[in-house]
Chain A
Amino acid sequence: MTNVMVVGGGPAGLRAAESLARFGLEVTLVEQESYLGGAVARHRYQVLMPHFDSGPAVLDRMVSAVAENPRIHIRTGSRIGQVEETDDGFQVEILGRETGVESVRAVVLATGFTHFDPRRDTKYGYGLFPDVITGAELEEMMASGPVTRPSTGEVPKSVAFIYCVGSRDRQVGNTYCSRVCCAVSAKQGIEVREQLPGARLVMFYMDVRTYGLWEDELYWRAQEDAGVVYVKGRVAEITQRDGRPVLKGEDTLVRGPFEWEFDLVVLAAGMEPGEATAELAAQFGIEREPHGFFQQTRPMENASVTSHPGVFVAGAASGPKTIEDSVMEGEVAAMAVLRYLDSKVTV
């Protein structure tokens, strides 16, 4: 029986594992956390961008498809140890509750991303001011109850969203766009409006990148239906006055310098390569692209092809990506594995 390993149990990895198993392969799914679902599960996303799907419903569908498939062997709480290349694949050591070595013909790396930690960009006062939170923390807040100010538990009368935190910024070493945060913030603005009909909601942006069909569905809708105000200007610094965050910056298009107080500030923290990316690249002998993600070597042909035969990539491990694109790449990687194994048999 042909065995394939999928590393990472987020949307991309779950989809890759599900499809490979449906095509009849034995799949070992390795996940470092104790649960499946990746960032969707970690931050308990309730409403998913862009179509406002139910996060728990999507997660349940993805996870149960994997959990109920007898060909998929789930190894949560596990990491990759030594990797040795053999004539027909890899000997991969799995470190975890059940440590052991697996023989696999191909590997799909779907290790995802980590959120940028805004403590690294001190101008936002994240970690210092309790009412400055990240977008992921807002998701967690909305999953467990109403939106409140962490400092007092009060309902906020004003909420600011700051774009491009940890993205598009040489100062923090990330010169790329994280791609989804503009649209996720618009989605969050629309959701927050439902809870806070009278609140002042403001987005501070450099550019608004709500690609393609998201333009009217998210960006215009945030303004037209949810009354969200967009201000072009990267916030220069956050201080605190009388227990409230104060945002200082320049409204570059209209009002010039500003110093505005908000009850709650949400930082749209971008995506960075997952912590294990460099190590896994070395273990499996694949290249990383200049920003540190796994390199897609032939993206015009197949999104999952890496610099090493038999090693494939899917999802945000190769760059910032939406959930739906990650799912799609999981499928793409499964197809690529099949083609690869087929060519190895027939050639």
Chain B
Amino acid sequence: MNPTETHLKLDPDEVGIQDAESLLHAIQSDVRYHEAIHGCLNCGVCSGSCPSHRFFDYSPRIVVQTLLSGDAEAVKGMMDEYIWACAQCYTCAMRCPLHNSPGGLVMIMREVAVWRGMEAVHRLLKPYGRVLLKVLSIGNQLTPDMIQPDFFPDWGPKIPWSSTDLAIKRQAIPVYTLQVTNSAWRVSPETSYELYTIYEETGVFRLIEQIDPNLYEVVADMVEELRESVEEARAR
């Protein structure tokens, strides 16, 4: 394999291309694909193990069988809603007698769905706007100030305590970079600057522009501001 090849062939020019055959091709040409699918005996140990299968119209076995069938339209149909019920717990992969990883296949399908800006992604990723913004701005996913009871209605009685007096509690952590509440650890402006360059070069910003123009506007302002201040600092 070409060492410069990325694990997923994310070609910026492919953002928005959504015909079924090209989606299936993108999934099957992922280098992880052949590690994640070998054959299938229809034994059902994956779906039997699957927490989502108990409660949703979702079966890891059907994901594997549909991919093996090569039916591109059916695969595309799954990418709309079906595969998003997977909790990515990978119990299926732990149990499959053939060492398939249905969870891994779902991950590939989701990445392709996001990359191609499928309609489902707009809908399904909406609740993750805050997370997305954090990832884009500083590379963190969840930060302490995001962990608030309002966003986690299923918290038990004890955990909300940890969301109070955050600043003081964070100061108690002996690792220097962790004494912040609006990021998971202290991120330097130079780090964000490099991150933005990577997002730009790899087409992530183009993707965001395509799937969430409002978010992109916020991000674009943020990027511009940070770049100016870093470049000014460098010039001094």
Co-assembled chains A and B: yes
Question: Is B172 at the interface (CB under 8 A from chain A)?
Answer: no
Question: Given contacts A206-B43, A257-B54, is CB(A248)–CB(B48) below 8 Å?
Answer: yes
Question: Given contacts A250-B53, A252-B43, A257-B53, is CB(A168)–CB(B97) below 8 Å?
Answer: yes
Question: Is B203 at the interface (CB under 8 A from chain A)?
Answer: no
In the assembled complex, the Cα of A164 lies from the Cα of B45 at a distance in Å of 12
Interface centre among B47, B48, B98 (most CB of A within 10 A): B48
Residues from chain B with Cβ under 8 Å of A256 in the complex: 53
Question: Is A34 at the interface (CB under 8 A from chain B)?
Answer: no
In the assembled complex, the Cα of A258 lies from the Cα of B97 at a distance in Å of 20
Interface residues on B, range: 10 to 19
A251 to chain B, nearest CB (A): 7
A257:B45 contact, CB within 8 angstroms: no
Interface residues of B in 10-53 (CB under 8 A from A): 41-49, 53
Residues from chain B with Cβ under 8 Å of A233 in the complex: 43-45, 48
In the assembled complex, the Cα of A123 lies from the Cα of B46 at a distance in Å of 12
| Stretch of A16-24, A76-84, A234-242, A327-335 that contacts chain B | A234-242
A170 to chain B, nearest CB (A): 4
| Cβ contact of B48, chosen from A168, A169, A207, A236, cutoff 8 A | A236
Residues from chain B with Cβ under 8 Å of A123 in the complex: 95
Give the number of A-B contacts (CB < 8 Å). Answer: 67
Question: Given contacts A171-B94, A171-B99, A236-B95, is CB(A252)–CB(B42) below 8 Å?
Answer: yes
A207 to B, closest residue via Cβ: B41
Question: Given contacts A169-B97, A236-B95, is CB(A206)–CB(B41) below 8 Å?
Answer: yes
Question: Is A150 at the interface (CB under 8 A from chain B)?
Answer: no
Residues from chain A with Cβ under 8 Å of B41 in the complex: 168, 206-207
A236 to B, closest residue via Cβ: B48
Residues from chain B with Cβ under 8 Å of A236 in the complex: 44-49, 95
Q: CB-defined interface of A233-270 with B at 8 Å, one 1/0 digit per residue?
A: 11111000000000011111000111000000000000
The contact sample of 13 A-B pairs, CB cut-off 8 A, is A207-B41, A233-B43, A235-B45, A236-B44, A236-B49, A237-B48, A249-B44, A249-B45, A250-B44, A250-B48, A250-B59, A256-B53, A257-B54
Which residues in A have some Cβ–Cβ distance to B below 8 Å?
A: 123, 164, 168-171, 206-207, 232-237, 248-252, 256-258
